[in-house]
Amino acid sequence: MKKLVIFTLVLLAGFSIQGFTQEVDKRLGEARSAYESGKLEAARFALQQALNEIDLAIGQEILAALPDRMGDMGPMTADDQVSSAGMGYAGLFVSRTYKNDGDGSVRVQLMADSPLLAGINTILALPLIASDANQKRIRVGGYRALLQKNEGTGGEVSYDIQIPFGSSLMTLEFKGIGDEDAVTSMAGNIPLEKVSRLISGS
């Protein structure tokens, strides 16, 4: 336990130097003080709080990296969501919605350690997708992705794109946009390489 606490303190000290937040420094101070006093549970709790703050800072960085517009749609920044389960990168969730003046919208969601990740990776690894004519493997910014076409009862068409990278899954939900080329073009505007670096800490 003591070795884990020491390692985590060293790791987080590097994060605080990069200037994430004052709250991280505060939590690190609490963890170090508790550790030096032999209060290992209190030290662990403070470290978890510091990791949570780092998650939130990374989430804000990811939102800042997203494009200013998606086609003719602007971001609804008041609806942005960033949350963390407080266990390192596990549980990080980021969401932003883009809308136009009509019915068009795109919701961009990123989830670390998504429960859907294994299933998506399995589908992408199959030689052929023969069971569902509405699914297609594509590439977005050099990453393998799954394009899903959805048809409503009134004949309206929408698309979802799921892009796994590392232990994270990005999902793009397109509503009111029935053109596949427009959908894939908008997906290509997302800086996936930068997002991947941010979430992996590399």
> Identity (one letter) of the amino acid at 93?
F
Q: Which pLDDT band, with edges at 50, 70 and 90, does 18 fall under?
A: very low
Q: What's the mean per-residue pLDDT of the chain?
A: 81
Q: What is the pLDDT of residue 201?
A: 67
Q: What is the pLDDT of residue 64?
A: 95
Query: pTM to 2 decimals?
Result: 0.76
CA distances from 91 to 6, 52, 111 (A): 23, 10, 7
Q: Which tens digits make up the pLDDT trace of 21-59?
A: 576 677 777 778 777 878 788 778 877 777 778 888 889
**Residue 4 CA from chain centroid, whole number:** 26
CA distances from 31 to 2, 91, 135, 137, 166 (A): 12, 22, 48, 46, 29
Tell me, which fold does domain 68-200 have in CATH? Protein Transport Mog1p; Chain A (3.40.1000)
pLDDT, greater one: 130 or 70: 70
Q: What is the pLDDT of residue 13?
A: 44
- Please list the alpha-helical segments (H only) found in the chain: 2-17, 22-36, 40-65, 117-125, 180-187, 192-200
Longest dimension (CA), the chain: 66
Q: Which pLDDT band, with edges at 50, 70 and 90, does 4 fall under?
A: very low
Q: What is the pLDDT of residue 88?
A: 42
Q: What is the pLDDT of residue 46?
A: 77
Give the angle subtended at the CA of 27 by the CAs of 26 and 31, to the nearest 5°: 120
Q: Average the pLDDT over each of 86-95, 98-107, 108-117 and give the range with the smallest value.
A: 86-95
Q: What is the pLDDT of residue 119?
A: 77
Q: Which pLDDT band, with edges at 50, 70 and 90, does 67 fall under?
A: very high
In this structure, the number of other CB atoms found within 10 A of the CB of residue 3 comes to: 7
Domain ranges of the chain: 2-62, 68-200
Q: Which tens digits make up the pLDDT trace of 140-172?
A: 988 999 999 998 877 888 999 999 988 889 999
Residue 70 has pLDDT above 80, yes or no: yes
Q: What is the pLDDT of residue 11?
A: 44
pLDDT, greater one: 198 or 89: 198
